[in-house]
Amino acid sequence: MLPHRHLAPLTKICELPPMPNSSDWNGVDIAFLDRDGVLNIGSKNYINKVSELIVFTDAGDAVASIRKSGFRICIVTNQSPIGRGHWDHERLAEINSALQEELLSQNPDAHLDLILYSPYSPWDNAWSRKGNPGMLQIGRQILDATNKQVPINDFDYGPTYKPVEEGNSFMVGDRMADMKAGLSYGIRTFQCDPDIGISDVISRVLNFNDMGDNI
């Protein structure tokens, strides 16, 4: 069970927006970010429609700061309401698009380079559902293949995934599943306060001597 990609099939060529200040991406550093509780206020009843989306007021500046520090942004979010039958992929696309629009209104450098999501319910035991690292595995390969198409059968995916150089890459989430996903993937992993979001750990993630949190 592979993850899904916002508004595109996984195999579509990834055309990335320019980095801030016309700088070059080093091709390695990726910020893997959860969505709810990190970029927007979460809810135990899910974010079910655009009107329920409340983006943290400083999230745009935080995303821009991360990109200005040389990172691509890859959102990795569990979205089981689809698998549970509450609503569909089209509803989620509306919410994710509204999130990107609001972040860019806060800061024009707050691009989300790639958005991946796992639509499966917990009982599906999908490798792409956090705390498994499946979305991080696929996100790395899509961003590595910028301007190239990756055939679906060419993805390295699953427990036998062969790790690559991750540089200063990191994962930020607010829940234990996020921690497990980042740590099992083998990168610096940070748990933020869901009432504060990404700004709670922004100084830490950009301090490359900070090795993150443990379970």
Domain presence at residue 35: yes
Give the C-alpha separation, 51 to 199, whole Å: 23
Domain presence at residue 59: yes
Domain presence at residue 87: yes
Q: Which residue range(s) make up the domain with 117?
A: 4-15+26-205
pLDDT tens per residue, range 164-178? 999 999 999 999 999
pLDDT tens per residue, range 177-199? 999 999 999 999 999 999 999 99
Per-residue HEC secondary structure of 14-37 comes to CCCCCCHHHCCCCCCCEEEECCEC
Q: What is the enclosing helix (H) or strand (E) of 75?
A: strand 72-78
- Take residue 117 and report the two structure tokens written for it: 């999501």
Q: What domain count does the chain have?
A: 1
Q: Residue 152's pLDDT band (boundaries 50, 70, 90)?
A: confident
Tell me the chain's radius of gyration from C-alpha atoms. Answer: 16
Domain presence at residue 80: yes
Find the CATH number of the domain harbouring 42: 3.40.50.1000
Residue 147 has pLDDT above 90, yes or no: no
Tell me if the pTM is above 0.85.
Answer: yes
Domain presence at residue 212: no
**Residue at 40: amino acid letter:** N
Domain presence at residue 211: no
pLDDT tens per residue, range 1-52? 999 999 999 999 888 999 998 888 999 999 999 999 999 999 999 999 999 9
